[in-house]
Amino acid sequence: MPSHAPLRRNLLALLVCASLPSLAAAETAPATDAPSATTLDSISVIGRGEARQVQRVTAEDMKVLPPGANPLKLLATKPGVHFESADATGAYEWSTTISLRGFNQNRLGYTLDGIPLGNMAYGNSNGLHISRAVISENLGGAEVSTGIGALGTPSTSNLGGVFQFYSIDPSTEYGVVLAQSFGSDSARRSYARLDTGEHQGFAAYLSGVYSEGDKWKGKGSQELKQFNSKATYNFGADSRITALFNASRRVEADYQDLSLEMIDRLGWDWDNYAPDWDRAVAAARGKFSGGVNSPWDAYYSGHGLRNDDLSSIAGDFGLNESMRLKVNVYNHSNRGQGHWFSPSNPSNPGTSREIPISIRTTEYAIDRTGVTSAFTWNVAGHELEAGLWYEDNGHSVQRNFYYIDGPITDDFFLRNPDQRVWHQRYTTITRQFYVQDRFRLFDDRLTIDIGAKSPNTRTSVRTPLGSYANNSSLTSKKGFLPQAGFNFKLNEGNEIFGSFAKNIAAYALGVGSPFNVPQAAFDASAKNLKPEQSRTIELGWRGYGQGYEASVAVYDVKFDNRLLAIAQCVGILGCPALFSNVGSVTSRGAEATLQLKPMQDLTWSNALSWNDSTYDNDYVNNGVVPTRGKKTVDTPEWMFASTLAWTPGPWDLRLAANHVGKRYVTYTNDVSVPSYWLVNASVAYDVGKLGPAQNLTVALNLTNLTDKRYLSSINTNGTYAADPTRSLATMQVGAPRQVMATATVHF
């Protein structure tokens, strides 16, 4: 497997962005297609006028988090959104979890500038994480639909909501931006962007970032190299072509997954053994020390490596005064490996060089190309829209072991495995067509949206090595999935809205999927499998006026045909999961948002969420597992977020507090983690013009201001029916207080 993603199909976007005139950059203007303004007077953070529950954030909102922060971490300030990670910025992907109204991240939809990002799982088979898709400094805005996404969203996993991200557009002015950050645990981040300015409708930028820092506990570092480029050409009255090429090279050292029993016995700061190789070897041989009593309490080390190249060419054409056509052609290539120093498989067995540890890898590849299109026609009081999404995705996943003679730093792609366990290759063809109509009644006070989509996703698998399903296929399709909504403007400051939608998900690929089981098990289950599906109803109110915006929404969700990969052993052993349809989930809840702006320089934003999600059925796994009526795992009943932003003159002061309620770890609810509060803060000062610089800004970010010890991500290493001994290592500890200082210069 090559160590970097192929670039051949990315040449067009790269050439467009590389053949630029003289480069320099001023402060970049926000994207015209993205939410970008920073005051209530110019943007509705609550989705004013929408028929669905919609919340928005802008680049300004990102200031409360340090540079490089995961945009999903910011969206956790919105109602219904739950985000966790073991690191301060939310960039450590093994631990990153996001959920909406009880739906975990694998059952949500994600896009960047209309490009589908897949299901954002750690072992992603059809996309990539947003933190690799775009440099965080280049994010212009984001929108979350916490229950029902836009009908035309290109996603095969959006059962419970959609995240849409927008990158900034090139500046209309010529200039350069440089930023340098230093922080806790030797963190450092360098960012640069050069803009051409606009020349006869053409504008472009090139930007790059290098980020590195040590883990906050244990040995190892996180490294990220990214390159972003974007070019736009405006022509005619209202037409545009946009080309984008983004590349990412990421290496992350793993933290050890913990259990509640391990935390009691070994402490909150317990981690992998590196650099103590002798202790790791001794533990693998059953000779324990310092409170350790199992080979699974720690490994020597582990790494996750991901190389991605993402490109697109999009056209937005005004055909005439009433017709528009949007087309977006994209390509994504990924190569990845996950490494663990496994104490369960020796290196060089049966020889004088035998040691009880080898490196176990899961190796990934994605090569996908697709196109989205949408045609709109305003005629006779109706806004008609029809669209098509087509994607051809090739995905490969394999499990290998590499023999070693001693400790190595495994922060590179390994080649030529000594032991090959299994290898699967998937081909997935996705076709989705949709039509919708928007019309207005009662002097435009009532807006009606009505439409339907017809998704069809077929996956076939070949297994060159191993006993898993081979020459087999599954199809997830539905000829008619309706979606409807309304928005009624009661008066100038009040509106009500409601929406209804049905969705289905494509079958998962790779590890933990219905294909990743022995052939006999696949044959027995395939004829009875049905795609996961959801039905969502939501109703709400929005109010707005001088200095405030508010919203309240209630919802009822039915999630049917829930397909569960039931973990059968500790993660390092790599046992095939038991895959089964375990029934349905019922979710009901309410969400409230209040944003106040009592004066020009002061904004106070608040979000409150209540969710009641329960399993409707028991399931069978060596006996009946009593899950009926139990709360869904990793779903807090209550969440609250509050952010205060004060921007007097050159100062920018922000304080954000988040409360996450109690969460259950197991399906039978016999293990839970407690609620917690987390506080972040930032202070920035705009120095203004300084020497040759047009502008200098200095900023200080603090995360976990109160240095709270808390359990962040859970079920990182599998979800289990029960854990009576509290000893299953499948959770992560949140990062302690972290500080980062940044200087940003505009020329």
Closest CA to 59 of 90, 98, 29, 22: 29
Mean pLDDT over residues 606-632, rounded? 94
Mean pLDDT over residues 498-513, rounded? 93
Q: What are the backbone dihedrals phi and psi of residue 231, each rounded to the nearest 5 degrees, phi first?
A: -135, 140
More confident residue, 16 or 55: 55
Spatial CB neighbours of 37, under 8 Å, sequence gap ≥ 6: 30, 43, 58
Residue 371 has pLDDT above 60, yes or no: yes
Residue 6 has pLDDT above 90, yes or no: no
Mean pLDDT over residues 517-546, rounded? 92
pLDDT, position 27: 35
Mean pLDDT over residues 145-149, rounded? 92
- Strand 162-167 and strand 109-112: pairing? parallel
d(CA 640, CA 591): 10
Q: Helix, strand, coil shares of the chain as percentages rounded to 5? A: 10, 50, 40
Residue 531 has pLDDT above 60, yes or no: yes
- Quote the CATH superfamily of domain 37-746: TonB-dependent receptor, beta-barrel domain (2.40.170.20)
Residue 511: band (very low, low, confident or very high) from pLDDT cuts 50, 70, 90: confident
pLDDT, position 524: 82
Mean pLDDT over residues 417-432, rounded? 97
pLDDT, position 581: 85
Residue 361 has pLDDT above 70, yes or no: yes
d(CA 266, CA 270): 6
DSSP at 133: H
Residue 31 has pLDDT above 80, yes or no: no
pLDDT, position 525: 83
pLDDT, position 628: 96
pLDDT, position 3: 40
- Cα of first residue to Cα of last residue in the chain, in angstroms, is 42
Q: In whole angstroms, how far apart are CA 284 and each of 217, 220, 334, 444?
A: 22, 21, 33, 71
More confident residue, 690 or 590: 590
Residue 195: band (very low, low, confident or very high) from pLDDT cuts 50, 70, 90: very high
Structural contact between residues 706 and 730, judged by C-beta atoms closer than 8 angstroms: no
Alpha helices in 21-65 (DSSP H): none
Residue 451: band (very low, low, confident or very high) from pLDDT cuts 50, 70, 90: very high
The type of residue at 97 is T
Residue 365 has pLDDT above 80, yes or no: yes
Tokens standing for 516? 């990743």
pLDDT, position 131: 95
Residue 578 has pLDDT above 80, yes or no: no
Structural contact between residues 663 and 633, judged by C-beta atoms closer than 8 angstroms: yes
Mean pLDDT of the chain: 91
Mean pLDDT over residues 40-51, rounded? 72
Q: What percent of the chain has pLDDT over 70?
A: 92
Mean pLDDT over residues 674-688, rounded? 97
Mean pLDDT over residues 85-113, rounded? 95
CA quadruple 567, 302, 332, 483: dihedral positive or negative?
Answer: positive
Residue 420 has pLDDT above 50, yes or no: yes
Q: What are the backbone dihedrals phi and psi of residue 68, each rounded to the nearest 5 degrees, phi first?
A: 85, 0
Q: How many CA atoms lie within 13 A of 386 on its CB side?
A: 2
Structural contact between residues 282 and 298, judged by C-beta atoms closer than 8 angstroms: no
pLDDT, position 573: 58
Mean pLDDT over residues 449-462, rounded? 98
Local structure of 271: helix, strand or coil: coil
pLDDT digits (tens, 9 = 90+) for 555-566: 999 999 998 866
Tokens standing for 295? 């080979």
Residue 166 has pLDDT above 90, yes or no: yes
Show me where the domains of the chain are located.
Answer: 37-746
More confident residue, 12 or 488: 488
Residue 428 has pLDDT above 50, yes or no: yes
d(CA 294, CA 271): 14
d(CA 420, CA 361): 10
Structural contact between residues 361 and 350, judged by C-beta atoms closer than 8 angstroms: no
pLDDT digits (tens, 9 = 90+) for 278-301: 999 999 999 999 999 999 999 999
